[in-house]
């Protein structure tokens, strides 16, 4: 996706080996037009696949997931990272963040996932694939199907794609990073 690559080259930084900082259009400030274009592109990639719902993880997945839900005209469900006092009955799992070096629990309310529905997972980054795997577990608990994954930025020098492919999970990434190094060396596939 050309506009996204250009945006990364112009605005992203690499604060340390293997980490891309995109706070100025995706992770802190959000570029709304870009989110709409991301959504259209992901919808196009999954053309012909029946999709009933989008699932993402708060917080940074929500913006690109909303663009995709808008393009597909389906609802967006986001998994939460802390149990709301109003949540009566939920599906839970624990994921390990390689980047943040910590474990955290994610939740969705049982009432928002239905048996047999087709769900597309959308997230901002794919690194080791743990967030995506956690979301696929929630989908399975609800008896729904994961039809694939849409990623904005894939760090292809990490194992996420291989791990998901081994589990026969389709991955569509809008940009794939081959190599990044401080302060601003960014190579794409
Ligand atoms: P994984 O899910 O693919 O295994 O990745 P990992 O655990 O390593 O990363 C988890 C979190 O770190 C995710 O955010 C992900 O978006 C973010 N992340 C991973 N690599 C990068 C990177 O190079 N740059 C940036 N900016 N973020 C990265 P999260 O925990 O869901 O937090 P949030 O930001 O959505 O609140």
* pLDDT tens, position by position, 131-180: 999 999 999 999 999 999 999 999 999 999 999 999 999 999 999 999 99
**Tokens 């997230």, residue located:** 123
At residue 84, the pLDDT reads 74
Pocket test for ligand 1, best of 24, 30, 127, 184 (most atoms within 8 A of CB): 127
Which two structure tokens, joined as six digits, stand for 38? 């991301």
**Which class for 26: exposed (0-12), middle (13-18), buried (19 or more C-beta within 10 A)?**
buried
B/e letters for 140-155, b = 16+ CB within 10 Å, e = fewer, are: eebebbbbbbbbbbbb
CA 114, distance to chain mean position in Å, is 21
Residues 26/152, Cβ–Cβ less than 8 Å: yes
CA angle in degrees (0–180, nearest 5) for 137-139-142? 110
Q: Determine the 3-state secondary structure of 182 from DSSP.
A: coil
Q: What is the pTM of this model?
A: 0.96
- Whether 78 shows a pLDDT value over 80: the answer reads yes
Ligand 1-lining residues (CB < 6 angstroms): 19-22, 27, 57, 59-61, 97-100, 124-131, 155, 160
Residues forming beta bridges with residue 150, ordered by sequence position: 122, 172
Mean pLDDT of the 31-46 span: 98
CA 186 to ligand 1 centroid distance, Å: 18
């Amino acid at each position: 996706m050309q506009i996204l690559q250009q945006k990364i080259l112009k605005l992203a930084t690499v604060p340390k080996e293997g980490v891309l900082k995109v706070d100025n259009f995706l992770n802190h400030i959000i570029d709304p037009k870009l989110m709409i274009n991301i959504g259209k592109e992901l919808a196009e990639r999954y053309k012909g696949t029946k999709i009933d719902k989008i699932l993402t993880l708060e917080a940074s997945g929500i913006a690109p997931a909303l663009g995709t839900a808008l393009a597909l005209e389906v609802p967006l469900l986001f998994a939460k990272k802390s149990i709301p006092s109003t949540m009566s009955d939920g599906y839970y799992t624990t994921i390990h963040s390689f980047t943040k070096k910590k474990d955290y629990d994610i939740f969705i309310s049982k009432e928002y996932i239905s048996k047999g529905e087709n769900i597309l997972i959308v997230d901002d980054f794919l690194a080791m694939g743990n967030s995506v795997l956690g979301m696929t577990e929630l989908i399975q608990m609800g008896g729904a199907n994961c039809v694939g994954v849409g990623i904005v930025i894939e760090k292809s020098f990490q194992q996420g794609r291989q791990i998901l492919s081994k589990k026969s999970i389709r991955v569509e990434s809008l940009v794939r990073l081959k190599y990044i190094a401080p302060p601003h060396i960014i190579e794409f596939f």
